[in-house]
């Protein structure tokens, strides 16, 4: 602070000297300009020169006012400032000039300069009088040129005196500036040496006391680093370093205690982790077995119910069989939700990346819930904006699962009115398109305070809703998880009594040039095509499912052969030719996975046969696992006959066309190729 104050004082003082030098220059210039105009006036008689003479003299007379006021014991500083302003000094320099005058007016150099300044003032007064006399002579009716010439000589004499005084003033100010500069330099140097020396002495003293305590703490820290947690350091004093040493000892106490507790906790965690892993494994096995054991009889119930339905004509019997089918569908949806949630909870889901047609996905979802909508007399509509790509890359199964869940919910909670589905593109770039899907209903609506909770597990908008409309509250939780795992977001807008609108936005990969052909592929309706001429090998160990598949396929004209497990299927396939294999996964002796791997290793004529997995396994990742080992498609039990027929027709036709193209290429002469 002392150095800063000294520096500030030095700069302002030297600045004031500089201001005085500048003021002297203004004073001299104004005096010279005044004399020049007065002399011209004596020769030209031009009144303009006389006015300029008086105007230029205001500068030195302003400085005179300031000097005379500062000479008083208690000067009026406002008068001083006005005087310096009249002397054309810069307003920012005036306070420094006043301070310099008041502090150093008795110093030899400044006193001498002010004396020279004071001597110049009577000369200026005399010059002012000569100017008035010259003005009177020039304005007289008869001009006395002799007196005018005399006055001009007097002006020259006064100019010479003023020049000498100005030189003396400037020289004296220069000497004063050099003196002040020397004083300031010596003062700053003395302060710097004093403060620097003091700082060094203090630093050495503090360093010795700090180093002693820090060395002990560092040594202790090194021992703790090596694992010697019982280390404690000596406290030399109750200063800051001493408090650090005390805190170090307290820290090692706590650390030693925490390490002991951590080891105990780690041992407990290892035990708990082993239990959790064992529990997860048991849960997975349980879910796999439960899925298979429940779906196997459900496949028989639903399959034979649908088979019988096609042959019934009695209206009462049709209603009864439809109720059986609906009850089975309801049970399957609950089972699917429970099984799917197991994988979704931990994000353990693999998403397919294949071309999908959004219109087909929405249409299939509507067909799935159409019967419920008709039963409640609810209108069901959908619309797709023109700018939505017809085909893009994504997971059609997961997208369909989202749609079915949301549309089913909309119909479930709507008593009258309509459910409307829409799709539109909201963002698009070269590779990705973001599509917004909306499902709007005219149902009961959801209160504001419940709108976020309904996406939580086992939550519904109201307790009465589950009693009235059914459901366990898994659907929306799974939908939200499925959307978010695909980098999407789901939203809800709802008003109680008016309806709800669920909408979600998801990014999809656009088709590249090699995939553009998908856009022009016509949807082939193979639901009702005949199976005549197609030979199917059914690999299934369950007698009920064997009978069901045979009945369903033979009804459409397929030729069927049964194998009870994978081993028998391979032996039959070696001896006979088939167009397609329907492969169960869980069977005795050899399961569907091993059988498929064996077939894919056979010679080219046998290895390429289409294989469709038909299984009650629906655990997340099962589809991807089947595809990875070489299967062509996947049918989950219970299955719909029309879905199975469509898959068989599509795969068989594709395989036959591929074989024909290959045979044609082999028949072409090599030179042509």
pLDDT digits (tens, 9 = 90+) for 501-517: 999 999 999 987 555 55
Q: Scanning the structure block, which residue is given the tokens 């959801």?
A: 446
Exposure b/e, 56-69, CB count within 10 A at least 16 = b: bbebbbbbbbbbeb
Phi-psi region of 421 (alpha: psi -120 to 50; beta: other; left: phi over 0): beta
51-100 confidence digits (pLDDT tens): 888 888 888 887 778 777 777 778 888 888 887 788 777 888 777 777 77
The answer to whether the pTM exceeds 0.85 is: no
As a three-state string, the secondary structure of 482-500 is HHHHCCCEEEEEEECCCEE
Q: What is the mean pLDDT of residues 196-219?
A: 80
pLDDT band for position 39 (50/70/90)? confident
Say if residue 127's pLDDT is above 80: yes
Q: What integer is the mean pLDDT of 562-568?
A: 93
Tokens of 240: 């800051």
Q: Please give the distance of CA 562 from its chain centroid, rounded to a whole number.
A: 58
Phi-psi region of 572 (alpha: psi -120 to 50; beta: other; left: phi over 0): alpha
- Distance from C-alpha of 540 to C-alpha of 447, rounded to nearest angstrom: 50
How far apart CA 52 and CA 54 sit, in angstroms, is 5
pLDDT at 286: 66
User: What per-residue confidence (pLDDT) applies to 275?
Assistant: 81
Question: Where is 9: in which H helix or E strand?
Answer: helix 2-44
Backbone angles phi, psi at 499, to 5 degrees: 145, 180
First to last CA, the chain: 96
- Of 46-50, 102-106, 464-468, the least confident: 464-468
Mapping DSSP to helix (H, G, I), strand (E, B) and coil, where does residue 579 land? Answer: coil
Give the three-class secondary structure for 172. Answer: helix
Nearest to 221 by CA among 184, 187, 192, 249: 249
Rounded Cα distance, 419 and 480, in Å? 20
């Amino acid at each position: 602070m002392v150095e800063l104050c000294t520096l500030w004082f030095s700069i302002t003082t030297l600045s004031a000297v500089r201001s005085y030098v500048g003021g002297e220059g203004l004073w001299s210039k104004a005096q010279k300009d005044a004399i020049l105009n007065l002399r011209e006036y004596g020769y030209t008689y031009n009144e303009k020169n006389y006015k300029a003479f008086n105007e230029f003299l205001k500068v030195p007379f302003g400085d005179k006012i300031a000097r005379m006021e500062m000479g008083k014991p208690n000067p009026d500083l406002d008068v001083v400032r006005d005087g310096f302003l009249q002397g054309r000094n810069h307003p920012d320099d005036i306070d420094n000039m006043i301070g310099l005058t008041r502090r150093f007016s008795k110093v030899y150099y400044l006193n001498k300069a002010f004396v020279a300044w004071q001597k110049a003032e009577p000369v200026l007064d005399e010059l002012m009088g000569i100017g008035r006399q010259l003005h009177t002579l020039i304005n007289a009716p008869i001009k006395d040129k002799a007196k005018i010439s005399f006055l001009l000589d007097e002006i020259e004499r006064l100019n010479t005196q003023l020049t000498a005084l100005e030189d003396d003033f400037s020289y004296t100010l220069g000497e004063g500036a050099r003196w002040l500069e020397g004083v300031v330099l010596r003062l700053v140097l003395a302060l710097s040496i004093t403060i620097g020396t003091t700082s060094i002495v203090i630093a050495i003293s503090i360093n010795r006391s700090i180093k002693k305590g820090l060395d002990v703490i560092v040594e202790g820290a090194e021992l703790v680093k090596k694992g010697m947690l019982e280390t404690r350091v000596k406290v030399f004093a109750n200063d800051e370093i001493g408090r650090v040493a005390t805190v170090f000892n307290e820290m090692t106490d706590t650390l030693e205690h925490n390490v002991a507790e951590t080891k105990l906790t780690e041992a407990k965690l290892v035990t708990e982790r082993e239990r959790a892993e064992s529990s997860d494994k048991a849960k997975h096995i349980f879910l796999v077995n439960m899925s298979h054991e429940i779906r196997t009889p459900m496949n028989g119930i639903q399959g034979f119910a649908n088979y019988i339905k096609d042959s019934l004509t009695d209206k009462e019997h049709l209603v009864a069989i439809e109720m059986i089918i609906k009850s089975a569908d309801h049970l399957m949806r609950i089972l699917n939700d429970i099984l799917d949630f197991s994988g979704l909870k931990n994000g353990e889901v693999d998403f397919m990346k294949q071309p999908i047609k959004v219109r087909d996905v929405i249409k299939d979802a509507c067909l799935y819930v159409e019967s419920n909508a008709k039963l409640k007399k609810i209108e069901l509509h959908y619309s797709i904006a023109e700018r939505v790509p017809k085909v893009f890359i994504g997971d059609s199964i997961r997208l369909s699962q989202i749609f079915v869940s949301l549309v089913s919910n909309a119909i479930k909670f709507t008593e009258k009115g309509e459910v409307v589905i829409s799709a539109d593109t909201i963002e698009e770039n070269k590779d990705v398109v973001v599509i917004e899907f909306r499902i709007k209903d005219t149902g009961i609506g959801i209160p504001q305070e419940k709108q976020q909770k309904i996406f939580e597990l086992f939550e519904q908008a109201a307790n009465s809703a589950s009693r009235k409309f059914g459901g366990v509250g898994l659907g929306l939780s799974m939908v939200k998880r499925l959307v978010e795992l695909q980098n999407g977001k789901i939203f809800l807008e709802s008003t109680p009594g008016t309806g709800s609108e669920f909408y979600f936005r998801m990014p999809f990969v656009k088709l590249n040039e090699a995939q553009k052909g998908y856009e022009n592929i016509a949807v082939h309706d193979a639901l009702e095509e005949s199976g005549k001429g197609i030979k199917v090998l059914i690999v299934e160990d369950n007698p009920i499912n064997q009978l069901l598949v045979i009945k369903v396929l033979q009804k459409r004209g397929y030729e069927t052969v049964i194998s009870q497990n994978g081993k028998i299927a391979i032996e039959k396939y070696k001896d006979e030719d088939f167009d397609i294999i329907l492969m169960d996964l869980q069977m005795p002796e050899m399961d569907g996975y091993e059988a498929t791997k064996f077939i894919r290793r056979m010679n080219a004529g046998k290895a390429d046969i289409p294989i469709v997995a038909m299984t009650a396994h629906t655990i997340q990742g099962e589809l991807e696992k089947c595809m990875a080992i070489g299967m062509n498609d996947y049918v989950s039990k219970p299955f719909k006959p029309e879905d199975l027929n469509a898959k068989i027709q599509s795969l068989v036709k594709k395989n036959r066309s591929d074989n024909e193209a290959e045979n044609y290429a082999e028949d072409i002469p090599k030179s042509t190729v």
